[in-house]
């Protein structure tokens, strides 16, 4: 039996404790060290994890040895430097979304990981959600026909960030799902937004993505909503799916509804829409925490027993779209063209799940 994978965690603020909890629950892993520059956070960690080594600096943690992999849960601006240092030190890396602060940084990390033969995985947690896997399965089966458009709302009051805008904070979740379903990058990106609280950091954004074949997706992100909303709607030619992640039961509802247009008509008076109303079904979903699945999958990848479901290529494509969003914001919401190339890492998994 192989020894457990020793994991170090960089960042013990909001997300780091969740990573520690899930890695500690895995028989094939152990949390060996945590680093965070905040002494109060480290003291809190020592009280709950007295057996874990504590460091103020990630470089010291890497130099001390004793870890096989590093999970990074720090501000986005530090992702590239921390991940690169870990890869150069021979450690596998799980980095939270977004993968890095620019496309150039993502590409550099991919080259570094490939050269070292190490796992570089991005924490797009929703791709490990049973609900999202079921959605991709239903769409792949053809049950709702060809996807026409996807509408997303990810809204809440806070948590305000000071280094990234709300699109970089919240939209990666939706983008990872949209790109998985569409299997390619969009042709054009439009993004409008406003900064109401912190100057020059947009706290409300609306993103429009135009895909080949007339397909379309919209993402509304906000830190300024009085209610928490986590909803996605997938509209196909033969049916629709509504995904409400806040529903304790029935997160997915598949609606047998559609609108058909007559194939031929001579004048507008003869034109009539045909509305089809069928049943709504709620697929059964296995229970389980997506973060737990992601952590277990990362350990399998480190051990050589699996290939990442959210590889670095996935993180790179999401950051490509986020950079286009920033360019559109600077243009007042104007369209930014992208190379709508297929995303093999996305389309391949979409076909497999």
Contact by Cβ (8 Å): 105, 321: no
pTM (predicted TM-score):
0.91
Query: 80, 100, 118: which is the final residue of a domain?
Result: 118
| Least-confidence region, from 209-218, 263-272, 307-316, 322-331 | 263-272
In the predicted model, what is the mean pLDDT of residues 170-197? Answer: 96
Query: 92, 118, 144: which is the final residue of a domain?
Result: 118
Please give the backbone phi and psi of residue 155, each rounded to the nearest 5 degrees, phi first. -130, 145
In this structure, are 88 and 184 located in the same domain?
no
What pLDDT does 339 receive?
A: 82
In this structure, are 268 and 158 located in the same domain?
yes
In the predicted model, what is the mean pLDDT of residues 236-264? Answer: 87
Question: With bands split at pLDDT 50, 70 and 90, how would you rate the model's confidence at 78?
Answer: very high
CATH of the domain at 29: 3.40.50.720
In this structure, are 160 and 90 located in the same domain?
no
325: pLDDT strictly greater than 50: yes
Q: Please provide the average confidence, as pLDDT, over all residues in the chain.
A: 92
Report if residue 224 sits inside a domain. Answer: yes
In 3D space, the residue among 88, 99, 8 whose CA is nearest the CA of residue 54 turns out to be 8
- Structural domain of residue 278, as residue ranges? 127-288+313-352
Report if residue 268 sits inside a domain. Answer: yes
In this structure, are 259 and 153 located in the same domain?
yes
Number of domain units in the chain: 2
pLDDT in tens, 269-279: 545 566 667 78
In this structure, are 214 and 103 located in the same domain?
no
What pLDDT does 223 receive?
A: 98
CATH of the domain at 164: 3.30.360.10
The CB density around residue 115, as the number of other CB atoms within 10 Å, is: 10
Report if residue 297 sits inside a domain. Answer: no
The residue with tokens 């992999």 is 69
Task: State the Cα–Cα distance between residues 194 and 171, nearest whole angstrom.
Answer: 15
Tokens of 114: 């490939």
In this structure, are 255 and 193 located in the same domain?
yes
* Partners of residue 267 on adjacent β-strands: none
Tokens of 264: 């031929």
Tokens of 80: 């590239």
308: pLDDT strictly greater than 60: yes
Report if residue 195 sits inside a domain. Answer: yes
Beta strands 274-281 and 29-35: pairing type?
unpaired
264: pLDDT strictly greater than 80: no
32: pLDDT strictly greater than 80: yes
99: pLDDT strictly greater than 50: yes
Report if residue 332 sits inside a domain. Answer: yes
In this structure, are 197 and 147 located in the same domain?
yes
Report if residue 303 sits inside a domain. Answer: no
350: pLDDT strictly greater than 60: no
pLDDT in tens, 106-153: 999 999 999 999 999 999 999 999 999 999 999 999 999 999 999 999
Report if residue 101 sits inside a domain. Answer: yes
33: pLDDT strictly greater than 60: yes
In 3D space, the residue among 179, 176, 169, 180 whose CA is nearest the CA of residue 204 turns out to be 169
Query: 118, 146, 167: which is the final residue of a domain?
Result: 118
What pLDDT does 352 receive?
A: 39
Report if residue 301 sits inside a domain. Answer: no
In the predicted model, what is the mean pLDDT of residues 223-241? Answer: 96
In this structure, are 181 and 319 located in the same domain?
yes
In this structure, are 96 and 41 located in the same domain?
yes
Q: 79-88 and 103-116 are packed helices; what angle lies between their axes, rounded to 10 degrees? A: 10
What pLDDT does 268 receive?
A: 54
The CB density around residue 229, as the number of other CB atoms within 10 Å, is: 15
In this structure, are 52 and 111 located in the same domain?
yes
Number of residues that make up the chain = 353
What pLDDT does 353 receive?
A: 36
In this structure, are 146 and 183 located in the same domain?
yes
In this structure, are 180 and 239 located in the same domain?
yes
Tokens of 63: 């130099």
Beta strands 120-123 and 92-96: pairing type?
parallel
Percent share of the chain, pLDDT over 90: 84
In 3D space, the residue among 349, 347, 351 whose CA is nearest the CA of residue 185 turns out to be 347
Per-position DSSP letters for 31-91, written without gaps between them: EEEEE-S-HHHHHHHHHH-TTSEEES-HHHHHHH---SEEEE-S-GGGHHHHHHHHHHTT-
């Amino acid at each position: 039996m192989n020894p457990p994978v020793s994991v170090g965690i960089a960042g013990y603020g909001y997300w780091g404790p969740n990573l520690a909890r899930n890695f500690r629950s895995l028989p094939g892993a152990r949390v060996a060290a945590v680093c965070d520059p905040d002494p109060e956070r480290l003291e809190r960690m020592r009280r709950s994890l007295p057996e874990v080594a504590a460091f103020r600096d990630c470089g010291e943690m890497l130099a001390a040895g004793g870890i096989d992999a590093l999970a990074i849960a720090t501000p986005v601006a530090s992702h590239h430097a921390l991940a690169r240092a870990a890869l150069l030190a021979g450690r596998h890396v799980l980095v939270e979304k977004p993968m890095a602060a620019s496309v150039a940084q993502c590409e550099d990390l991919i080259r570094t990981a490939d050269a070292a033969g190490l796992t570089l995985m991005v924490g797009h947690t929703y791709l490990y959600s049973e609900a999202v896997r079921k959605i991709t399965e239903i769409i792949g089966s053809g049950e709702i026909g060809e996807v026409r458009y996807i509408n997303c709302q990810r809204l809440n009051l806070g948590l305000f960030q000071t280094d990234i805008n709300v699109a970089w904070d919240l939209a990666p979740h939706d983008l990872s799902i949209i790109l998985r379903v569409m299997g390619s990058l969009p042709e054009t990106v439009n993004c409008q937004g406003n900064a109401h609280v912190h100057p020059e950091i947009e706290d409300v954004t609306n993103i429009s993505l135009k895909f080949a074949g007339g397909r379309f997706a919209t993402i509304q992100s906000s830190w300024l909503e009085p209610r928490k909303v986590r909803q996605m709607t997938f509209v196909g030619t033969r049916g629709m799916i509504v995904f409400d992640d806040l529903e304790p039961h029935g997160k997915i509802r598949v609606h047998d509804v559609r609108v058909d247009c007559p194939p031929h008509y001579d004048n507008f008076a003869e034109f009539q829409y045909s509305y089809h109303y069928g049943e709504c079904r709620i697929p059964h979903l296995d229970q389980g925490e997506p973060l737990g699945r992601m952590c277990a999958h990362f350990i399998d990848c480190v051990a050589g027993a699996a290939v990442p479901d959210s590889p670095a290529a996935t993180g790179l494509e999401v950051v490509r779209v986020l950079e286009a969003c920033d360019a559109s914001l600077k243009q007042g919401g104007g369209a930014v063209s992208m190379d709508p190339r297929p995303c093999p890492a996305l389309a391949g998994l979409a076909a497999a799940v």
